[in-house]
Amino acid sequence: MIAIYPGSFDPITNGHLDLIERGAKLCDRLIVAVLRNQHKQPFFTAAERMEMLREVVGENPRIEVDSFDGLLVDYARRKQASIIIRGIRAISDYEYELQMALMNRRLCPSIETVFLMASEAYSFVSSKLVKEVFRLGGDVANMVPPSVEARLRERVPRGV
Is 39 marked active-site? no
- Look at strands 112-117 and 2-7 and give their pairing: unpaired
Q: Which residues of the chain have pLDDT under 70?
A: 157-160
Catalytic residue, candidates 25, 39, 40, 106: 40
- List beta partners, residue 114: 85
Is 79 marked active-site? no
pTM score of the predicted model? 0.93
Q: State residue 92's pLDDT score.
A: 81
**53, 65 contact by CB (below 8 A):** yes
Catalytic residue, candidates 29, 36, 89, 105: 89
Catalytic residue, candidates 8, 127, 131, 151: 127
Q: State residue 160's pLDDT score.
A: 53
The domains found in the chain, sorted by start residue, are: 2-124 (3.40.50.620)
Is 8 marked active-site? no
Is 40 marked active-site? yes
**39, 135 contact by CB (below 8 A):** no
**6, 37 contact by CB (below 8 A):** no
Catalytic residue, candidates 16, 49, 131, 151: 16
